[in-house]
Amino acid sequence: MITLDVTGRLPIYEQLCRGICGEIAKGVLQENDRLPAARALAKELGINPNTVAKAYGALERDGVIYSVAGVGCFVAKQKDRADRRFLEEFEQKTREAKKAGVSEEMLRGILSRVYGEKEKHGQPGGDGK
C-alpha cells in the first residue's frame, strides 16, 4: 500500500507517515483499521524495523493512530489529524508561491477549481471535511 522513494529527500519515517496519512485521507484505511505490523511492513519495504516503529510513534503522538499493547496499531478517529500534515505542506508551498510572486487570486482560482470539481463529480474521500 505504501511505496517509498529510497533515493528521495524526505526521511523514510516521514515518507511512511505521509503515506499512511494519505491512505487515511483517501479512505483506504478507515477508523479502527489495523495497520500492518512493524515487522511485516519493514520486510515488505526492505527497511529497518526501528524506522517503522519511529513512524508509528510519531503518528500516535499526533493522534492519527492508537496502539493496543500486544495487538498492534489502529487508525484513530480522524477529525483533522491526518490532514494536519497536508495543511502544513500546503502552507509551506503557499509561502513559497507568494515569495515567487504568485498572487492570492491565482491560488484562490486553483482552490475553487479543485473544490468545484469535487462537487461536480462527487469524488469519494476528499479530505473528510
Give residues in contact with another protein (CB under 8 A): 4, 6-13, 38-39, 42-43, 46-51, 54, 96, 99-101
Rounded distance, CA 27 to CA 81, Å?
Answer: 14
- Is 34 or 98 the residue whose CB approaches another protein more closely? 98
Min separation Cβ 30 and another protein, Å:
27
CA angle 26, 3, 65 (to 5 degrees): 50
- Is 93 or 118 the residue whose CB approaches another protein more closely? 93
- Is 9 or 121 the residue whose CB approaches another protein more closely? 9
CA atoms 43, 15, 26, 113: torsion sign: negative
Rounded distance, CA 48 to CA 63, Å?
Answer: 23
Give the cell for residue 7: 533515493
Min separation Cβ 110 and another protein, Å:
19
Rounded distance, CA 104 to CA 17, Å?
Answer: 30
Min separation Cβ 78 and another protein, Å:
26
Min separation Cβ 49 and another protein, Å:
5
Cβ-contact 39, 50 below 8 angstroms: no
- Is 47 or 82 the residue whose CB approaches another protein more closely? 47
